[in-house]
Amino acid sequence: MTPIALIPLFPLIGFLINGLGFGKISKSLVPIIGTGASLLSFACVLLAYLQFDGTPVVVNLFDWITVGDLNIKFAFQLDQLSLIMLFVITGVGTLIHLYSAGYMSHDEGYGKFFAYLNLFLFSMILLVLGANYLIMFIGWEGVGLCSYLLIGFWNKNTDYANAARKAFIMNRVGDLGFLVGIFLIIQTFGTLEYLEVFEKAKGFQIGDGIILAITFALFVGAMGKSAQIPLFTWLPDAMAGPTPVSALIHAATMVTSGIYMIVRSNVLYSLSPATLEFVAWIGLATALLGATIGLFQNDIKKVLAYSTVSQLGYMFLGLGVMAYSSGLFHVITHAFFKALLFLGAGSVIHAMSGDQDIRNMGGLWPKIKITAITFLVGTIAISGIPPFSGFFSKDEILAHVFEHNKLMWGLALLGSFMTAFYMFRLFFVTFKGNFRGTHEQEHHLHESPSSMTLPLIVLAALSIIGGAIGFPEIFHFPHKLNEFLSPIYEGSKLVNPEFGVIHIDHATEWILMGVSVLVAVVAIVFAFTVYGNGKNVPGSDESMSGIKKVVYDKYYIDELYNNVFVNPISSLSKFFGNVIDNKFIDGIVNNVGSLVNQTSAQVKRLQVGGTSSYLLFMTIGIILLLVYSLVPGLFESLKSVIK
């Protein structure tokens, strides 16, 4: 078997061992199996990369669904894009598995947790490694399932179980869009295999209506999976899951599926500028919405969750202006620094005996130094300060946006300002000043074990240097990522003359860079003046009023959805069930049937005997019937056999 097929196989085996052996495998072996599966998978990716010669490799395992002319293969495709995603998934994934070994060690569902994590890796690998849209869809729904299982990991708590259900259902709404996209692709191209679809797509004219429909439908799927407006409200709730899950699934990998999908389908999107414009605006709006809500949150994980929503918005903004590589670049750097921040938050929560409210923290810097320093690295990286990784990827997106639309650029910059502000607010309130928690918590404060701090250190290092894969052109270093990825944009170059064309001169680029650094610095200074001394602590929930309360309460979007969708459907369900079905339709049936019922009253008189007599009658009857009808026939056939 080729190493390509081994990449998803190891996590699948890990899932089966830890899943079937749950409760039977010793606790020390569980993380070795789980993390080992992930590590082996990473090793296979590395091997596949070393063997990769630049042309896409398609591995057909078997025909999955064959109906009429449609043959959907169970096949994998290894190319530049899937390799990049695989490195992120298995690399960051392995670190998070390692971290979980420490973080979850006191949980009674330890083995189950690792089984789920492995199942997630398997699904996520299918998502990026599939050679057609339906294999992507397996992964797409599979990661949704794992997300459900892991958000609801502590399902005794009804709120957590509700959060899990909400995530799954909202994703399903998006998945319906994805499915419609798949149907349209089959109708249009007669196949779902990437290579064939993209080859045929080159024959289409820019702005073609059917491509618009396909790209739009697929993007609906991305809205769900990658938490964009209007399907984003599940992601903050998803923080109910254990923190490693938030880092792996709800920050680094699963939520970036939508970005992967668009980059994968870049030919189609390049053919449809209207969809791209829509994607860009949705991304921008989500970036701003997430950032504003993040300004006032006091739950350490909620701040990071809204920050993720916001950063995903930036990625879509980048895709919307056809800066596909920049969007993907931000996926990579974001995977590093957001995984780092979440794992850091987990370490903080661990130290705080489970408390997540930053108003109860403060002064943690000297107590948990490794966590604090690495957290600071993540905070700087996300704020866009050079030379940390986040700066390069975000700056690249902003430069493309500037080229596309100055207003969008201005708004995006406003988002960057807020990002730097709320992240440093989070940092200062958590780590500076004096400790505000209980004595018991203070007594218990401790740095996390090395299985947890080691991933933090590795991720911090990656957050610092990760930008090196994509230096801006004006630095006169090679942009490794762009060079590597350029083959997958061959179609886009062909169909859309605007793709990859940059008009801004070097002077403008320097200025743009300077402006975005300046904005971040001002935001940090501002955050420092407000929260830097550690004295200014966010007020209690009750003290909030006016617009601030509206933003803090997430613009009441959840309430809106409840009133517009959830409650009406509940009422409809009861109305249909109790009135329409029971009274109306069945009422008619009963009336029509009353005639039959009258007749039946006569017939019922026959039903007086016991069970035995019925059964005996039945037996006799059937035998008689059979003998009467079959025996002559049987007789003849026997005769013919003898002859």
Partner 1 sequence: MLTLSLFLIPLIAGLVLLNIKNKSLASSISLVVSFIQIAVFVYAFSVFKDNSALLTFDKPWLSDFAIRFHLGLDGLSLVMVGLTVVLVAIILLAIKNLNYENIPRLLGLILLTEAALVGVFSAKDIFLFYFFFELALVPVYLIANFWGGENSSKITFKMFVYTVFGSLFMLISFVLLYMRGQSADIESIKVTVSLLPNLIKQILFWGLLLAFSIKMPIFPFHTWLPDAYSKSPTPATMLLSGLLSKMGVYGLIRILLPFAPSGVQMYGEIIIILAVVGLVYGSIIAIKQNEIKRLIAYSSFAHMGLMAGAVLTLSVTGLQGAIFQMVAHGFNAVGLFYIAKIIFDKTGSRSLTTLGGMTQSAPVLTVMFMVVLLGSVALPLTNGFVGEFLMLKAVFDFNHVIGIVAGLSVVFGAVYMLRFFQKTMYGPSNDSTINITDIGAKEMMVLVPIVIVVLLTGVFPNLILDISGSFVNSLGVLNK
d(CA 294, CA 297): 5
β-sheet bridge partners, residue 74:
62
- Comparing CB distances to partner 1, the nearer of 494 and 634 is 634
- Comparing CB distances to partner 1, the nearer of 541 and 586 is 586
Do the beta carbons of residue 90 and residue 35 sit within 8 Å?
Answer: no
Do the beta carbons of residue 452 and residue 344 sit within 8 Å?
Answer: no
Which region, left, alpha or beta, applies to residue 355 given φ > 0 means left and ψ of -120 to 50 means alpha?
beta
- Comparing CB distances to partner 1, the nearer of 514 and 577 is 577
What does the H/E/C string look like for 469-535? Answer: HHCCHHHCCCCHHHHHHHHHHHHHHHHCCCCCCCCCCHHHHHHHHHHHHHHHHHHHHHHHHHHCCCC
- If you write DSSP's letter for every residue of 248-282 in order, what string do you get? IIIIISGGGHHHHHHHHTHHHHHT-HHHHHHHHHH
What is the nearest approach in angstroms of partner 1 to the Cβ of residue 389? 34
What is the nearest approach in angstroms of partner 1 to the Cβ of residue 17? 15
- Comparing CB distances to partner 1, the nearer of 50 and 606 is 606
What is the nearest approach in angstroms of partner 1 to the Cβ of residue 568? 10
- Comparing CB distances to partner 1, the nearer of 173 and 295 is 173
What is the nearest approach in angstroms of partner 1 to the Cβ of residue 145? 6
Residue indicated by tokens 């960051």:
92
- Comparing CB distances to partner 1, the nearer of 165 and 549 is 165
What is the nearest approach in angstroms of partner 1 to the Cβ of residue 50? 30
What is the nearest approach in angstroms of partner 1 to the Cβ of residue 640? 11
- Comparing CB distances to partner 1, the nearer of 142 and 415 is 142
Q: Which two tokens stand for residue 585?
A: 């339709």
Given the rule CB under 8 A, which residues bind partner 1? Answer: 22-23, 62-68, 70, 134, 137-138, 141-142, 145, 148, 152, 155-156, 158, 161-162, 165, 168-169, 172-173, 175-176, 179-180, 183, 186-187, 569-570, 572-574, 576-577, 581-582, 585-586, 589, 593, 596-597, 600, 611, 614-616, 618-619, 622-623, 626, 629-630, 632-634, 636-637
What is the nearest approach in angstroms of partner 1 to the Cβ of residue 357? 24
Tell me phi and psi for residue 606, to 5 degrees.
Answer: -70, -20
Give exposure, 226-248, as e/b (b: 16+ Cβ within 10 Å): bbbbebbbbbbbbbbbbbbbbbb
What is the nearest approach in angstroms of partner 1 to the Cβ of residue 312? 22
- Comparing CB distances to partner 1, the nearer of 64 and 435 is 64
Q: Which two tokens stand for residue 35?
A: 């993390």
Residues 6+ apart with CB under 8 A from 127: 136, 138, 139, 140, 142, 143, 257, 260
- Comparing CB distances to partner 1, the nearer of 158 and 540 is 158
- Comparing CB distances to partner 1, the nearer of 475 and 628 is 628
What is the nearest approach in angstroms of partner 1 to the Cβ of residue 227? 17
User: For residues 48, 50, 56 and 58, what is the CA-based torsion angle, rounded to 10 degrees?
Assistant: -30
Q: Which two tokens stand for residue 114?
A: 């690792």
SS3 (DSSP) at 454:
helix
57-67 and 70-78 beta bridge pairing: antiparallel
CA nearest to 237, candidates 114, 314, 310, 147: 147
Residues 6+ apart with CB under 8 A from 358: 298, 299, 300, 303, 426, 429, 430, 538
What is the nearest approach in angstroms of partner 1 to the Cβ of residue 250? 19
What is the nearest approach in angstroms of partner 1 to the Cβ of residue 373? 39
What is the nearest approach in angstroms of partner 1 to the Cβ of residue 33? 18
Q: Which two tokens stand for residue 283?
A: 């991304």
- Comparing CB distances to partner 1, the nearer of 476 and 639 is 639
Do the beta carbons of residue 160 and residue 151 sit within 8 Å?
Answer: yes
Residue 127 identity (one-letter amino acid)? L
Task: For the chain, give the number of residues.
Answer: 643
Do the beta carbons of residue 11 and residue 121 sit within 8 Å?
Answer: yes
What is the nearest approach in angstroms of partner 1 to the Cβ of residue 636? 7
- Comparing CB distances to partner 1, the nearer of 239 and 361 is 239
- Comparing CB distances to partner 1, the nearer of 137 and 342 is 137
